[in-house]
Amino acid sequence: MSRWLAALRRPTVAIGGLMVTVWILCALFANLLAPYDPLLSGDPLVLPLGRGASGAFHLLGTDLLGRDILSRLIFGARTVVIWAGLATATAYAVGIAIGLLAGFYGGVIDRALSFIANVVLSFPVLVLYILIIVTLGASGVNIVLAVTFASAPAIFRLVRALALDIRSRDFIAAAITQGEGAVHIMVMEILPNTLGPLTVDACLRLGYTSITIGVLGFLGLGLPPPTPDWGGMVNDGRAMAIAFPHLVVFPCLAISSLMLGLSLLADGLREAPARA
Amino acid sequence: MARRWGVRLAEIVGVMLAVSCIVYLMLEVNADEVAVKVLGQFSTPEQRHLWLHENGYERPFLLRYLGWLWHFLWGDWGMSTHYREPVIDILPARLAHTGILACATLVVMIPASFLLGILAGMREGSLADRAISVFCILTTSVPEFASAVFLAAIFVFWLGLLPGASTMTEGFSLREIVLPVLVLALYATGYLARIVRASMVEVMTSAYVRTALMKGASPSRIVLRHALRNALIAPVTVIMLQVPWLLSGVIVTEVFFAYKGFGTLLYEAALNSDVAMIEACAMVSVVVVVATQLLSDLLYAWLNPRMRRAERPAPQGAGV
Nearest C-alpha in A relative to B15: A119
Q: What is the three-class DSSP state of A77?
A: helix
Residues B54 and B106 grouped into a single domain: no
Mutation target for A interface from B19, B124, B149: give the one with most A CBs within 10 A.
B149
How near does any CA of chain B get to the CA of A194, in Å? 18
Contact B124, B204 (CB under 8 A): yes
Residues B103 and B65 grouped into a single domain: no
Residues B114 and B46 grouped into a single domain: no
**Range with the lowest mean pLDDT among A3-17, A87-101, A118-132, B195-209?**
A3-17
DSSP string, B50-66: HHHHHTTTTS-HHHHHH
Nearest Cα to A260, choosing from B308, B7, B142, B237? Answer: B142
Q: How confident is the model over A219-275, as pLDDT tens digits?
A: 888 888 778 888 888 888 887 777 788 888 898 999 999 999 988 888 877 765 444
Say what the ipTM of the complex is: 0.83
Average pLDDT over residues A9-33: 86
Residues B27 and B165 grouped into a single domain: no
Of residues A214 and B245, more confidently modeled:
A214
User: How many alpha carbons fall within 13 Å on the CB side of residue A37?
Assistant: 6
How near does any CA of chain B get to the CA of A207, in Å? 8
DSSP bridge pairs for B79: B86
Q: What is the DSSP letter of A50?
A: E
Residues B120 and B198 grouped into a single domain: yes
B150·A255 Cβ contact <8 A: no
**Over the range A90-114, which residues count as b (16 or more CB within 10 Å of their CB) and which as e?**
bbbebbbbbbbbbbbebeeebeebb
- Would B85 be classed as within a structural domain? no
B19·A119 Cβ contact <8 A: yes
For chain B, 320 residues long, give each residue's pLDDT as a single digit of tens: 678 788 888 888 999 999 998 898 888 877 777 888 777 777 888 888 888 887 777 788 888 888 888 888 888 888 888 888 888 888 898 999 898 898 899 899 889 998 999 888 888 888 888 889 888 988 888 888 889 888 888 888 788 777 777 777 666 777 788 889 999 998 888 888 988 888 888 888 888 888 888 888 888 888 888 788 788 887 877 787 777 778 888 999 999 888 888 999 999 998 888 888 998 999 999 998 888 888 888 887 777 766 655 544 444 443 33
pLDDT at position B281: 92
Q: What is the three-class DSSP state of A54?
A: coil
How near does any CA of chain B get to the CA of A255, in Å? 8
Whether A47 shows a pLDDT value over 80: the answer reads no
**Final residue in a domain of this structure, among B44, B73, B102:** B73
The C-alpha R_g of chain A, in whole angstroms, comes to 22
pLDDT at position B112: 92
B252·A130 Cβ contact <8 A: no
Give the one of A119, A125, A215 whose C-beta lies nearest to B145's C-beta: A215
Mutation target for B interface from A110, A126, A133: give the one with most B CBs within 10 A.
A126
Chain A residues whose beta carbon lies within 8 Å of the beta carbon of residue B281: 127
Chain B residues whose beta carbon lies within 8 Å of the beta carbon of residue A214: 143, 145-146
Residue % of chain A over a pLDDT of 70: 94
pTM of the complete model: 0.84
Mutation target for A interface from B8, B248, B253, B284: give the one with most A CBs within 10 A.
B248
Contact B8, B297 (CB under 8 A): yes
Residues B48 and B172 grouped into a single domain: no
> What domain range includes position A197?
2-274
Contact B184, B259 (CB under 8 A): no
pLDDT at position B313: 46
Q: How confident is the model over A125-138, as pLDDT tens digits?
A: 899 999 898 888 88
**Range with the lowest mean pLDDT among A6-15, A86-95, B196-205?**
A6-15
DSSP string, B84-134: TEEHHHHHHHHHHHHHHHHHHHHHHHHHHHHHHHHHHHHSTTSHHHHHHHH
Residues B55 and B177 grouped into a single domain: no
Residues B64 and B107 grouped into a single domain: no
How many domains in chain B?
Answer: 2
Residues B102 and B239 grouped into a single domain: yes
**Final residue in a domain of this structure, among B24, B42, B73:** B73
Give the one of A124, A256, A267 whose C-beta lies nearest to B142's C-beta: A256
How many domains in chain A?
Answer: 1
d(CA B251, CA B144): 10
> What domain range includes position B103?
91-310
A130·B270 Cβ contact <8 A: yes
Domain containing residue B134: CATH number: 1.10.3720.10
Nearest C-alpha in B relative to A161: B317
- Would B319 be classed as within a structural domain? no
* CB interface of A with B, residues 195-214, below 8 Å: 207, 211, 214
Residues B69 and B100 grouped into a single domain: no
Domain containing residue A132: CATH number: 1.10.3720.10
User: How many alpha carbons fall within 13 Å on the CB side of residue B42?
Assistant: 0
Q: What is the DSSP letter of A57?
A: E
Q: How confident is the model over A144-162, as pLDDT tens digits?
A: 999 999 999 999 999 998 8
Residues B137 and B208 grouped into a single domain: yes
* Confidence band for A276, pLDDT divided at 50, 70 and 90: very low
* CB interface of A with B, residues 57-116, below 8 Å: 106, 110-111, 114-116
Nearest C-alpha in A relative to B148: A252
A221·B270 Cβ contact <8 A: yes
**What are the backbone angles phi and psi of residue A68, rounded to the nearest 5°?**
-65, 125
pLDDT at position B315: 45
Q: What is the three-class DSSP state of B161?
A: coil
d(CA A234, CA A237): 5
Q: Mean of the per-residue pLDDT values for chain A?
A: 84
How near does any CA of chain B get to the CA of A150, in Å? 13
**Final residue in a domain of this structure, among B73, B105, B126:** B73
Cα dihedral B12, B253, B75, B283 sign: positive
Q: How confident is the model over A154-184, as pLDDT tens digits?
A: 999 999 988 888 888 888 888 888 888 888 8
Give the one of A114, A124, A264 whose C-beta lies nearest to B289's C-beta: A124
Q: What is the three-class DSSP state of A100?
A: helix
Chain A residues whose beta carbon lies within 8 Å of the beta carbon of residue B18: 115-116, 119
- Would B80 be classed as within a structural domain? no
Residues B32 and B110 grouped into a single domain: no
DSSP bridge pairs for B226: none
Dihedral angle, C-alpha A86, A87, A88, A89, nearest 10 °:
50
Mutation target for A interface from B142, B150, B294: give the one with most A CBs within 10 A.
B142
DSSP bridge pairs for B80: B85
How far is CA B211 from its chain centroid? 40
